[in-house]
Amino acid sequence: MTAPMAEPLVLLVDDSPLVTEALGILLVETGHRVVTAGSVREAIDAARAERPDVLLLDLTLPDGDGLEVLRALTADGAAPRATVALTGHDDALTEARCLAAGCRAVMSKPVPAAALLRGLREWTAGAA
């Protein structure tokens, strides 16, 4: 008998309670553990407390650029398996900046649920 796989941990970083609540419900209902953070500092602290499998990262946070989270975790050797930028900016420059920082993907808000869930299956394959 094989032990059940642990639910993948998603760190959802966004300063909008509406976004974190809605996406949090979707993620929990589809078999993920979710930790939320509303700032760069909270996100870094949360990721250092328990390394997430996937980091869903808003770029515009009250205390700085969301990519600072990825840079800090990468510098610590604690980057998640996949980081996905969630942004209201749908332009090539923003996408290039996110990919250069190490994001696996860039998704424009409002994030399409089906595309996010499809990506999560890929990004968490083998996690546990």
Those residues whose C-beta lies under 8 Å from the C-beta of residue 78, and which sit 6 or more positions away, are 47, 48, 51
DSSP 125: T
pLDDT in tens, 69-94: 999 999 999 999 999 999 998 899 99
Under 8 Å between Cβ of 55 and 70: yes
Those residues whose C-beta lies under 8 Å from the C-beta of residue 1, and which sit 6 or more positions away, are none
Each residue's pLDDT, cut to its tens digit, for the chain (128 residues) gives 444 458 999 999 999 999 999 999 999 999 999 999 999 999 999 999 999 999 999 999 999 999 999 999 999 999 999 999 999 988 999 999 999 999 999 999 999 999 999 999 999 986 65
Topology (CATH) of 9-122: Rossmann fold (3.40.50)
First to last CA, the chain: 17
Residue 73: both structure tokens together: 């975790």
